[in-house]
Structure formats: C-alpha cells, structure tokens
Amino acid sequence: MKSDINKRDGKRDGKRSIPSQVILGAFVIGMGVLFLLDNLDIFDFHRAVAFWPAAFILFGVIKLLDTQSPNGALVGAILIGVGAVMTINRLGFMHINMRALWPLLIIFLGAAVICKAVTGRRMLGMQSKDDDATDAVVDITAILGGFDRRITTPAFRGGEVTAVMGGCMLDLRGSSIEGEAVLNVFALMGGITLKVPPDWTVALNGTPIMGGFDEKTITAPHNNKRLVIRGYAIMGGVEVRN
C-alpha cells in the first residue's frame, strides 16, 4: 500500500516540476535571443547584464513551484524579495542603501526558525501514532550554515532538502525503503551530500545549472528499494554515495 502511495506521489511531483522547467527553459531561450540581438548590433546586451539580480527572482520562482513545505516556500520568498529589492535599486526607481537593510536577513532567519518550530510540532502531533514517522519524511533547510543529520527509519518516504550558500549532509545508511521514495533537493551556491545504503537503487533526475549532480554508488543487487532524487543544483552540487 505504501509503495503505491509513494509511486502516486512521485507522479504528482513529476507533474509539479514541469512548470519550473518550462520557466527555466524560457529564461535560457530569452538569454540566447538577447545574445543574438547583441551580436547583430540590434540591442546592447551589456546594459541588461547590469540587472543580474533578477536571476534571484527566477530561482525563487523555481523553488516556489517545486517545494511542498513551508520552509521551502519561505526560501523561495526570500530569494524573490532579495532579487526584487536589488533589481528595483538598479533600475533607479528607489535608492536603497543595502547596508541599511542587512537586518532583514536576521528577520528572515528568525521567521524561518519560527516556521520550522510550528510546522515541526504540527507534524509530530499528526504522526504521533507511528514512532518512526518523524524520520520517514524529512524537511531540511540550511541557509548560510551547515546541517548534518542521521536518519534511521524502516520506511523512508522522501521529503525535501534545501541548501542556500550552505551545506547539508543526510546519512540514510541506517534506513530502509518500502518500494520507492522521492527526495526533492535544491542547492543554490551550496552543497548537499546524501549517504545511502548499498541495497538502494538511486535515480538522479535533477537539473544542474552551473552546478552538478554526482552519483558515487555501487549497483544494487535488486531494484525493490528505489530512491528518486529530483530538483536543482544552481552554482552548487548534489552528491550521492554509499
């Protein structure tokens, strides 16, 4: 039963990731068109390069479309907010002193801690009937820092791991899977390392953007335990090893 549920969840995740890939593809096409117009002396692309902070808005939208957790939504909102403020400043509509706005980072981090605490207690209350359920689905976020966690559960179902200018290490070697589990990853100028048992089959379906996905695992003896990894590595890296 759990295997069927995981498969259905995986299909929903696949459908959910399509809009973000469409947005990313449209962005790449747009960049190509701008470079072409610059080479044809129709448009001076060098002026548009000055508005590179708009990339943060793009990354934030991608995160919002792919996330299924409040922490992920908060990270997406932060990226969009940072990109919007920096872009407005460069457009000259507002003269914003970035040094005066640095306390906003502390406010965002405090909001993330509160959000994590509230949602964590809610999940514990919903899953109190199962002692191992708290580790079955993970929701890990590291911003400007590191996170190291060991998971031991007989029925890992996946979850979400986010690293923004930080690092996450998730040790799953003491866990098992009933059928298939889906793990969404998002590494922006950061790194995510996953350690999995040797009897797990790993399927990497991520999208690297000036980053990389690296699998260093041995071939599993069977295919009845499958971990599907989806998401993005933007100027960062995701490594899976056993």
pLDDT at 169: 93
C-alpha distance from residue 198 to each of 219, 222, 223, 225 (Å): 8, 10, 11, 10
- Which residue range is the domain that position 24 belongs to? 2-241
Token readout for 175 is 């866990």
pLDDT at 132: 44
Nearest to 59 by CA among 202, 170, 196, 207: 207
Distance CA 8, CA 15 (A): 11
In this structure, the number of other CB atoms found within 10 A of the CB of residue 100 comes to 8
Distance CA 212, CA 237 (A): 5
Contacts of 224 (CB under 8 A, 6+ apart): 179
Task: Give the distance, in angstroms, between the CA of residue 174 and the centroid of all CA atoms in the same chain.
Answer: 24
Per-residue pLDDT of the chain (242 residues; tens, 9 = 90+): 444 434 444 444 444 445 666 766 777 777 777 777 777 777 666 666 667 788 888 888 888 888 877 777 878 888 888 888 887 777 766 666 666 666 766 776 676 667 666 655 444 444 444 444 467 899 888 888 888 999 999 999 999 999 988 899 999 999 999 889 999 999 988 999 999 999 999 998 888 888 889 988 888 888 889 999 998 898 889 999 98
pLDDT at 15: 43
In the block, which residue shows the tokens 């996330």? 67
Distance CA 179, CA 43 (A): 53
- Number of domains present in the structure of the chain: 1
What is the DSSP-derived secondary structure letter of residue 93? Answer: S
Pair 181, 204: CB distance under 8 Å: no
Distance CA 121, CA 40 (A): 58
Token readout for 188 is 């922006």
Contacts of 144 (CB under 8 A, 6+ apart): 164, 165, 166
